Structure 1
Amino acid sequence: MKNRSFAVIGLGTFGSTVASELARFGNPVLGIDTDERNVTRLADVLTEAVIADGKDEAALKEAGVGNYDVAVIAIGEDLEANILCTMHVKMLGVETIWVKALNKTHHRILSKLGADRVILPEQEIGQHIGQMLHNPLIRDYVSLGNGYHVVDLKVPALLDGVSIKEMSLAETYELRALGAMRESQFLSCENGELRLKEGDKLLLLGKRPDLRRYGDDLRARQ
Structure 2
Amino acid sequence: MADRRNDPVVVVGLGRFGSSLALELFRRGTEVLAIDSRPKLVQSLAGKLTHVVVADSTDIEALRQIGVPDFYRAVVAIGTDLESSILTTSLLVELGIEDIWAKAVSREHGRILERVGAHHVILPEHDMGERLAHMLNGRMLDYMEIGENYALAKTRPPREYVGVPLGESNLRRKYGVTVVCVKGPYDEFTYADAGTVLGYGDVIVIAGTIEQVERFTELP
Q: Same fold (TM over 0.5)?
A: yes
Aligned-partner residue type, residue 99 of structure 1: A
* Residue of 60, 69, 73 corresponding to 1:70: 73
> Separation in 1 of the partners of 2:63 and 2:201?
51
The structural deviation recorded for 1:145 is 2.1
User: Which residue is 1:164 aligned to?
Assistant: 166
1:185 aligned counterpart, secondary structure: coil
Aligned-partner residue type, residue 196 of structure 1: L
Contact map agreement 1:159 1:198 (CA 8 A) in 2: no
Q: C-alpha offsets along residues 8-55 of structure 1, whole Å, 9 cap, x if unaligned?
A: 100011111111111111111110001111111112221100000111
Query: Structure 2: 5+ residue runs without aligned partners?
Result: none
User: Which residue is 2:140 aligned to?
Assistant: 138
Q: Does 1:153 align with 2:155?
A: yes
> Separation in 1 of the partners of 2:31 and 2:38?
21
The structural deviation recorded for 1:106 is 1.4
The structural deviation recorded for 1:157 is 5.9
* Residue of 26, 32, 40 corresponding to 1:29: 32
Q: C-alpha offsets along residues 71-91 of structure 1, whole Å, 9 cap, x if unaligned?
A: 110112211111110011111
Q: Percent identity?
A: 37
1:27 aligned counterpart, secondary structure: coil
* Residue of 7, 12, 16 corresponding to 2:10: 7
C-alpha RMSD of matched pairs (Å): 1.8
Q: C-alpha offsets along residues 92-123 of structure 1, whole Å, 9 cap, x if unaligned?
A: 11111111112222111111111111122221
TM-score by length of 1: 0.90
* Change in 2 beyond 3 A, CA 1:106/1:146: closer
TM-score by length of 2: 0.90
Query: Structure 1: 5+ residue runs without aligned partners?
Result: none
Q: Does 1:55 align with 2:58?
A: yes
Contact map agreement 1:19 1:29 (CA 8 A) in 2: yes
Contact map agreement 2:131 2:144 (CA 8 A) in 1: no
Aligned length, in residue pairs? 216
The structural deviation recorded for 1:159 is 4.4
Q: Does 1:179 align with 2:181?
A: yes
* Change in 2 beyond 3 A, CA 1:154/1:67: farther
> Separation in 2 of the partners of 1:37 and 1:184?
46
